[in-house]
Structure 1
């Protein structure tokens, strides 16, 4: 029986620990908080979201030979093929510790991601043929430059749709200057500016990113919505729905997954952005990094609520 093609997500799988402040933040003193632990990592989060939508998804990542690593695999394997996750004794499982204010917005985040430096280009090259038929690739920027470059080159050579999701302003610089082979680049304002090395207008930044070789770019701006541009000339902005935020962690990853669900389902970039924002809104309204009841029905209901009601037909 022929193996079904899968979306392959490559990058981070972390333990997210969140401490939410119960009083306003002040430097130099302790604060009462409520702490939680969830599964995280950009590639892992996107993979779980897509798996919950019914896609066949595989995750390529690395975790430590420790309890955190086993816990991550157990939690993720409910929705994702985790057989390509490498266990290593060279480093602890990656952790992301966020301090959130009373409104759920990030005050400070601490990332222990040394483990991703243990992933080499040769390891990825050996794994690639084992991944089976691939329908699309999602790549975050947690792995070293050589690995990121290899994945982009493979996708370009094999004509595989590739979505790159940036992780942070420092890590966006791991991307090559030539983005040929990238179908969609999803990033936020700070990361986009860090990539182009400019603090200009969003339209100019998107134009520079398209000039670097990607076919489409989407820049997210939280409550200020998203801007998008395609090489074919389609550009625009969308306002974000107004919702009460419980916790902002994971909203960007949720956007990427919702967007991909849209474009892989044949939606134009503008409508795919609406799916991305619908999924981000669902995540913003839960304390979990991935909405615990997420499925395609919930996504479609959010899309209908925030983007169809009251819209002119």
Structure 2
């Protein structure tokens, strides 16, 4: 008969049989030595037969990029520029890649995060929280050279972003050695998500290491999209820009839908199969080369927009991992984004596939209904 702690360990190993004792200890809140004792007992009981023996063939994702702490300040009333505004602040783990990984972990997917954080208290908090959400963090490197990155966002009273400052110096330390150390999990992943926080050298190497895998590129911002655009080629399966990022990736105008189609076609010509363009409240356009589908957003109330795009992409990947079509995945992504926007959390702690599905089903009929393809 298994003890309660052994049951916890077994559940975590069912999600990822390659999970190390350090990650198990962080997820459960105990010591590595204690975990090793439990693993030994589980081996004696015949419950585990070796690392990766049972579940190693399950599809999983690797997310490569930024991990930092989010510092959010929200004005109590409509913000007045150039002066102090009353409000409230909060701090929680963030970073585009890390947020995507946590959302995937909460959706029940096997996921590894590849990133860099400082060897400091913020980095320790970030790793413990992320591991507890079901994310494998063995390939998050620690460095003494720089502090854990921060993302400082100022929100208006309605939760809309006014301005944000991102200190991603730690992520800039993600180099060839770190990526090569994770090459086995990258090469065995079903989907690899890479965010735009990587240096050009790291981004290029990540695409090479992920050869043969479905790679999804999240540009993150206009400057970062512009800095990496010439590296985009057939090694990338899909990109997920907004209008401005799409313009930066292609050096083409994207103000009208016609221009968006033309810009998406330019990326298809480079060998990129999927171009999923976010249009804010309107929804998104999904281009698969032979046509474009417009997908409306899921109605919601705005509590905080931070992290909506990250949950949207994670839910998209979740459906692809399960064998779903891209259109189905995009609709699921919009429902996850709506849930995040309605929450004060950057990543909802109660996120589950059932909750996302229920949100999608309860949306207006035209939100979930298929939309005809239009010529590209």
**TM-score, structure 2 normalization:** 0.78
Question: Does 2:218 match 1:165?
Answer: yes
Equivalent of 2:316 in 244, 251, 259:
259
Equivalent of 1:209 in 242, 261, 267:
267
Question: Does 2:274 match 1:221?
Answer: no
Equivalent of 1:198 in 239, 242, 252:
252
Q: Deviations over 1:283-302 (max 9, x none)?
A: 00001001121111111111
**Structure in which a larger fraction of residues adopt helix:** 2
Structure 2 unmatched runs, 5+: 1-49, 371-376
Kindly name which structure, 1 or 2, has the bigger radius of gyration based on alpha carbons. 2
Q: SS at 2:207's partner residue?
A: helix
User: Larger RCO: Structure 1 or Structure 2 (Cα < 8 Å, ≥ 6 residues apart)?
Assistant: 1
- Give the count of matched residue pairs: 310
| CA 1:16–1:223: 2 relative to 1, 3 Å | same
Q: Deviations over 1:141-185 (max 9, x none)?
A: 1111111111112223xx111111121111112324232111121
Counterpart in 1 of 2:38?
none
**TM-score, structure 1 normalization:** 0.93
Q: SS at 1:174's partner residue?
A: helix
Question: Does 2:94 match 1:37?
Answer: no
Structure 1 unmatched runs, 5+: none
Counterpart in 2 of 1:135?
190
Alpha-carbon distance between aligned partners in 1 of 2:187 and 2:51, rounded to the nearest angstrom? 10
Measure how far apart 1:312 and its partner are: 6.6
Q: SS at 1:242's partner residue?
A: coil
Q: Deviations over 1:67-98 (max 9, x none)?
A: 00000000000110111110001111010000
Alpha-carbon distance between aligned partners in 2 of 1:117 and 1:267, rounded to the nearest angstrom? 34
Q: Conserved in 1, the CA contact under 8 Å of 2:361 and 2:368?
A: no
Q: Deviations over 1:205-239 (max 9, x none)?
A: 211222232110101111011001013x1411112
Alpha-carbon distance between aligned partners in 2 of 1:132 and 1:187, rounded to the nearest angstrom? 25
Question: Does 2:72 match 1:14?
Answer: no
Measure how far apart 1:125 and its partner are: 2.4
- For 1:45-194, list aligned pairs within 5 A: 45-78=99-132, 79-129=134-184, 133-156=188-211, 159-177=212-230, 178-194=232-248
- CA-based RMSD of the aligned residues comes to 1.9
Alpha-carbon distance between aligned partners in 1 of 2:181 and 2:135, rounded to the nearest angstrom? 21
